[in-house]
Structure 1
Amino acid sequence: MANMPAAEVPIDEALVTRLLREQHPDLAHLPVHTLSNGWDNAVFRLGSDFVVRLPRREIAVQLLRNEQLFLPQIAELTSLPLPVPIRIGQPGAHFPWPWTIGPWFAGRPAIDSAPSEHRGLVGQLAEFVIALHRPAAADAPQNPVRGVPLRRRDRAFRHRMETLDTAHSAQIIAVWEEVLEIPEWQCEPFWIHGDLHSANILVQQQQISAIIDFGDLAGGDPAVDLAAGWILFDAEARSRFQQEVGAALGPDPALWQRARGWALNLGTALLANSDDNPQFRALGDHVVNAVLAD
């Protein structure tokens, strides 16, 4: 993406192979292929069974450490496959930060398919958030931008709206101001994924094959994860998702209104960063339109 920050250290396949030889020589014979360079991590496939993730920026190091520390606990809560670290790489002379070897999961990101194709995912996603959303550990990470009161995102949201070219600006801002009046989360922090959108949900044969990228894992308001209802689903599937989650957790209209606000926050962020990414543009349009339609 055009706004993606540059990597602070050079990372390539040769470096990954060198690190493997130094720290995990039993895996160093496996082929290494580049998969992606995200905002925070460079990701490589290692052989047929593994993935190697290395931070591209110092700010992402703690996010990776959070996964290493807490994902084993989170994985015990759900039957869905999660990228629990298999091996941990240590900082060294050739790379200054920790890194992770995790499992490879078959499937394609849900962002590759239309929301109308995700109706079969409702039950699995509902089961996941029900299992995850429980009081977080006392030493759970704190995320400054996810699971926090929506008012903390107000300044960034309004700045973003100044740059967006959309015919719905007035309606978007009206809905945003409406959700800012909803009571904040009053309970203790719950575990949250923090980034539960359709690029982080893998799908195979119309089922969730894994949920990935737990860098934003934290304790906070679970509404941020429930925004997935507007991100992944059409109106019919979203209603079923809300019903299934509500049946387990109890009715909480304020929770769902905050979730709607988080969906609007993410939808506008996708649109603001979609200049060279048509998938982000399509998903952002879907999310914003779904929020405005409710």
Structure 2
Amino acid sequence: MTTIPPGPDGRAGITADLVRRLIAAQFPQWAGLPVVPVPIDGWDNRTYRLGDRMTVRLPTAAGYVPAVGKEHVWLPRLAPRLPVAIPSILAQGEPGEGYPYPWSVRGWLDGETAVPERIDDMAEFATSVGEFILALQQCDVTGGPVAGEHSWYRGTSPAYYDDETRRSLKLLKGRIDTGLAQEVWEAALAATWTGEPVWFHGDIWSGNMLVEQGKLTAVLDFGTSGVGDPACELVIAWGMFKGESRTAFREAVAQDEGTWARARGWALWKSMLVLSECIDTDEEKAADNRRIIEEVLGDHR
């Protein structure tokens, strides 16, 4: 995967100065506005505030480029149908100033990242997330981007990641209950999706949601979105919810047992992959992924 040469600030060569030059060259009406990195950034893109009410979002590698055009076309069409705000696309930039990819200018969304400490009623929040997922599924899929490479295969069968999962099972033997984990994985593969394709976000987690006064107000980053199987949407059931909130989420999202079986497969694949990479090097990350695996196995059991 082609990446931008590293820059002096370690941000894949994307700097505030680069953003200023791109804006000045392509959108001179916004030249002179302050450009400041956002406090919490992602891996796939670098994001900068542009003035008070805009952001600039730039892919860090070629694999993340398809999201730019996809979001430019589809977010304005989806937004009116959804119960909370999603990013508004104001402009699409072109490669320039030594930067090789298209990029976008978006409206700023108020709110704070939806970490549990900012949510007073987690069950109510879980219901809101479920209602968002259902509303997205009800959007018209005509001409929508069919799940595949652009969505990192979210929306397809979890079988795409079969090799990675079986490799993780071997690496984690003796460290987790790999016998039960394999049973969960086989159940996910066997639960073939036969439904009509629907819209999915593909990366529903706390970092892609905003809250105000503890309430869900916005969902961000539709880079992995598409049209296909919605099972990947349910991973948050084990990543963020538990007990009463997980029950509330399950009731709100109203998915069948086969979809839940595939969802357990999605959660297991990712958590085992991450755990196999960090189990002896990052105690906090390892503990979090162990917890998710145990919750998934317990849910299957």
TM-score (norm 1): 0.85
Relative to structure 1, is the Cα distance of residues 147 and 123 closer, same or farther in structure 2, using a 3 angstrom cutoff?
same
1:30-49 deviations in Å (ceiling 9; x for gaps):
22122366432111122222
Secondary structure of the 1:268 match is helix
Give the superposed CA RMSD. Answer: 2.8
1:204-215 aligned at under 5 Å gives the runs 204-215=212-223
* Correspondence for 1:289: 294
Identity %: 32
Alpha-carbon separation, structure 2, partners of 1:115 and 1:153: 33
Of 71, 75, 88, 1:71 maps to 75
Aligned length: 286
Code of the residue aligned with 1:32 in structure 2: it is V
* Correspondence for 1:176: 185
- Are residues 1:136 and 2:141 paired? yes
1:24-39 aligned at under 5 Å gives the runs 24-35=27-38, 38-39=42-43
Alpha-carbon separation, structure 2, partners of 1:217 and 1:265: 19
Alpha-carbon separation, structure 2, partners of 1:272 and 1:106: 36
1:270-281 aligned at under 5 Å gives the runs 270-272=274-276, 274=278, 280-281=285-286
Code of the residue aligned with 2:295 in structure 1: it is A
Of 160, 166, 169, 1:161 maps to 169
Alpha-carbon separation, structure 1, partners of 2:57 and 2:117: 25
Q: Give ranges in structure 1 of 5+ residues lacking alignment.
A: none
1:161-240 aligned at under 5 Å gives the runs 161-164=169-172, 166-182=175-191, 184-240=192-248
Alpha-carbon separation, structure 1, partners of 2:75 and 2:34: 26
Alpha-carbon separation, structure 1, partners of 2:277 and 2:115: 15
Alpha-carbon separation, structure 2, partners of 1:211 and 1:90: 25
- Are residues 1:58 and 2:74 paired? no
1:254-273 deviations in Å (ceiling 9; x for gaps):
12222222222233244345
Once the two structures are TM-superposed, the CA of residue 129 in structure 1 deviates from its matched residue by 0.7
* Correspondence for 1:85: 89
Q: Is the 8 A contact 2:52 2:108 kept in 1?
A: yes
